[in-house]
Chains A and B, each alone.
Chain A
Amino acid sequence: MKKTRVATVWLDGCSGCHMSFLDMDERILEIAPKIELVYSPLVDNKEFPEDVDVTIVEGAVSSEEDLHKIQKIRARTKILVALGDCAVTSNVPGMRNPFDTQAVLARAYLENAQENQHVPTDVIPPLLKRVRPINEVVKVDVFVPGCPPSADAIFFVVSELLEGRLPDLSERVKFG
């Protein structure tokens, strides 16, 4: 049987959703033989590959880098899964949205810094004016809210996708 090409991506999130994925424990062994993990924070691969069947995205779209990444990912992925509240609602990263980016940077790098007070210009990618949930930027096929979503919900989603079905999560909605 041809393995499903799966990628996982981490945009503006805390890695909690990836942790919850790993919380599936031994059920991962059930899934593992059916997938080929082609890209992930755990895989040493710099360039996002072509022809990915399923990409699971944690985190919101906060910077220009996130924006370019997600656009490329969308173009190269058949089924895009928004995993967790940051990806689905913008969640905690989005708390800066009522304020402008200059005020946010000043808060982080000037007001709250004790030493070396200056706003970096080359190390961090430019921030977008507003942090966005993924579906405000590209089309999303499956939404899995939760902060983080439970390992059970993630297992259900992945199992369904591996069976070639689009998971129906309307009975499993959970925010926060």
Chain B
Amino acid sequence: MSTPSRVITLTLDDREVGAHTDQTILEVARENGIVIPTLCHLEGLLPIGACRICLVEVVGSNKLLPACATKVTDGMRVITQSERLTRYRRRVVEFLFASGNHICAVCVSNHHCELQDMAVYTGMSHLTEPYRYPKLRVDASHERFVQDDNRCILCQRCVRVCAEIEGAHTWDVMGRGIEARVITDLNQPWGESDTCTSCSKCVQVCPTGALSIKGMAAAEMKKRKHFLAQYWTLKEEES
């Protein structure tokens, strides 16, 4: 059994705020109108702290901590904006761009992409490290959807929504480090998956153009994530 949640106070930047011990730094920040950028995190899915864009400083800790996956504690002093954080966050975005092949001009998600939004948010005007230009796979075997590894940032939203909400667990991650890829079933073509129900939840939550509806032209793919909110409202009503 987890210990029951208590009410505590902490400071976010220069503000003293109240919170519950079962909340994350991100949740408390959002409640108080403080913006912390996120990419892998999606409300309604379990946080995994994969992308590190939400890093914050906590006074007394020499490590930067992911706001989406760190619980608040009594008296905690959190810094959500600083030059150091801006620099780290921009680096995170740079690495994501460098490790795939992001040709925005011809991408289905151009102008509707959360990775692009993060480039804008962090003011990333160019890369300071060379691009990798890896040779990656496109899987168009599914009747209605396309998966393009070139645009995947390994946020694992697809993995989580499919397992946690749809209950199909079609997606998983194979390999480690820069070799890591998302796969369907036992690395079979998506179109041959026995578990996929073709619900399209993974496509809708994917922050980039890595998952899209077949037949979209550049800039046509707009994602809809509202079903997550609906799902959780239903859950709450049930309980």
Taking CB as reference atom, which chain B residue is nearest A95? B103
Q: A147 contacts B133, CB within 8 Å?
A: no
Tell me if A57 is interfacial: C-beta within 8 Å of chain B.
no
Tell me if B228 is interfacial: C-beta within 8 Å of chain A.
no
**Residues A169 and B133 in contact in the complex (CB < 8 Å), given A95-B101, A176-B105:** no
Q: A89 contacts B131, CB within 8 Å?
A: yes
Nearest CB of chain A from residue B123's CB, rounded to whole Å? 3
CA distance A104 to B94 in the complex (A): 28
Taking CB as reference atom, which chain A residue is nearest B120? A173
Tell me if B124 is interfacial: C-beta within 8 Å of chain A.
yes
SS class of chain B's interface: helix, strand, loop or mixed?
loop
Q: A171 contacts B104, CB within 8 Å?
A: no
Taking CB as reference atom, which chain B residue is nearest A134? B126
**Residues A92 and B105 in contact in the complex (CB < 8 Å), given A98-B133, A176-B110, A176-B111:** yes
Q: A85 contacts B104, CB within 8 Å?
A: yes
**Residues A91 and B120 in contact in the complex (CB < 8 Å), given A143-B126, A176-B110:** no
Tell me if A90 is interfacial: C-beta within 8 Å of chain B.
yes
Taking CB as reference atom, which chain A residue is nearest B219? A176
- Within 66-103 of A, Cβ neighbours of B (below 8 Å) are at 82, 85, 88-92, 94-95, 97-99
Taking CB as reference atom, which chain B residue is nearest A86? B105
Tell me if A136 is interfacial: C-beta within 8 Å of chain B.
yes
Q: Which residues of A contact B130 (CB under 8 A)?
A: 136
Q: Which residues of A contact B119 (CB under 8 A)?
A: 173, 175
The size bracket of the interface on A is 20 to 34
Tell me if A130 is interfacial: C-beta within 8 Å of chain B.
yes
Count of inter-chain pairs, beta carbons less than 8 A? 71
- Within 106-121 of B, Cβ neighbours of A (below 8 Å) are at 106-107, 110-111, 116, 119-120
Nearest CB of chain A from residue B100's CB, rounded to whole Å? 11
User: Which of B101, B123, B127 is in CB contact (< 8 Å) with A98?
Assistant: B101
CA distance A89 to B100 in the complex (A): 12
Q: Which residues of A contact B123 (CB under 8 A)?
A: 169-171, 173
- Within 18-77 of B, Cβ neighbours of A (below 8 Å) are at none
Tell me if A59 is interfacial: C-beta within 8 Å of chain B.
no
Tell me if A34 is interfacial: C-beta within 8 Å of chain B.
no
Nearest CB of chain A from residue B86's CB, rounded to whole Å? 10
Q: B125 contacts A88, CB within 8 Å?
A: yes
Q: Which residues of A contact B101 (CB under 8 A)?
A: 94-95, 97-98
Interface positions of A (Cβ within 8 A of B): 82, 85, 88-92, 94-95, 97-99, 130, 133, 135-136, 140, 143-145, 147, 169-171, 173-176
Q: Which 9 A-B pairs have the closest CB atoms?
A: A176-B104, A170-B123, A97-B133, A147-B105, A98-B135, A176-B110, A143-B126, A143-B125, A175-B104
